[in-house]
Structure 1
Amino acid sequence: MTRRLLLESGLELFKTKGYTATTADDIATAAGTARVTFYAYFPSRSELMKALIDERLNEALQRVRSPEHGSTARDLVATVAEGTPDAVMAWLRRTADIRPAIRPIIRSGRDAAVIDPELTDPVER
């Protein structure tokens, strides 16, 4: 419950204030907890960002880790395997439908990658 609140609060603050201006204290306060609790779940703000990418973004895109490709969207792999224009259009429509949910994570992740070098582009993760 607390971890989920920290993730939600972090994403909301990254959207409204930006990654650079958001501190661990800001996130903890928005989640109704203390800084020490934030650090019990996430060693740093960048670790919270990684969790958002790994859990929320990859889940929405149905991506799974692949030793050969880093991560792979199952739905996209099936679409490419089918290879028909109808399948591609259907995949594009489904992806467009989830855009409002994933856009803030992608945008925040890109902003974060500029400041925190250990973060990669969320689309490439």
Structure 2
Amino acid sequence: MDKIAAGLERAFATDGFANPSVDDLRDAADVSLRTLYKYVPSRSEMMQAALEHRHQRYMTMLFDGLTPRGGAAFNDIIDRIAVWMRTEASHGCLFHAAVAAAPDDQALRALLEKNKNDVAAKTAQITGLDGAEVEISIILDGLTQSWPLYGDQATAGAKRLAKILAQDNAL
């Protein structure tokens, strides 16, 4: 299943959610059509599997090896998001793209919420900004959403906002 989910994630990240045909998705997963449908019997479930896989990879990339260090850790997280955007998501957040492609799919919306909430909660824990999860989410999601337009300028802006948030919460 992990192999299938990884292939589906790559296909959707590369070609979006509307473009890949079932044959494209099967090829990306490197399994037979029968095996693909055995594990993920619908396009919605394929999207869910891809996003669940992506969430785990994203959380690992952002937080593995980080230690609680306040503002320095926040800057490290922002830098890691910038690397992710450069290498994995230059078109923006795949979770938002999935919900945009299927706005009535509550399972996809739940995965979007889980991703954003988990990232904000873990960032708050590591940075000592407990209680500022909404503000953290706005900063980090703003970075991922504005990356396609501004690139490294978005990273610098997110760091400035993180510094202001940290200063505000120190009062």
Fold conserved (TM > 0.5)?
yes
Task: Answer whether contact 2:85 2:92 (CA < 8 A) is retained.
Answer: no
Higher relative contact order (CA 8 A, sep 6+): 1
Asked if 1:113 corresponds to 2:99, the answer is: yes
TM-score w.r.t. structure 2 length?
0.47
Equivalences, count: 110
More strand by share: 1
Q: CA deviation at 1:22?
A: 1.7
Q: Which has the larger radius of gyration?
A: 2
So what's the TM-score if we normalise by structure 1?
A: 0.60
> Is 1:23 aligned to 2:21, yes or no?
yes
The structure whose residues are more often helix, as a share, is: 2
SS in 2 for 1:111: helix
For 2:90 and 2:111, the matched residues in 1 are separated by: 11
1:86 aligns with 2:86: no
- The equivalent of 1:124 in structure 2 is 113
Contact 2:63 2:77 in 1 (8 A): no
Structure 1: gaps spanning 5 or more residues: 64-72
Displacement of 1:104 after TM fit?
6.6
User: CA distance change for structure 1 residues 34 and 43 in 2, over 3 Å: closer, same or farther?
Assistant: same
Percent identity over the alignment? 24
Please list the CA deviations of residues 24-49 of structure 1 after superposition, one character each: whole Å capped at 9, or x if unmatched: 33211344433221111112222222
Contact 1:62 1:74 in 2 (8 A): yes
Partners of 1:105 and 1:7 lie apart in 2 by 20
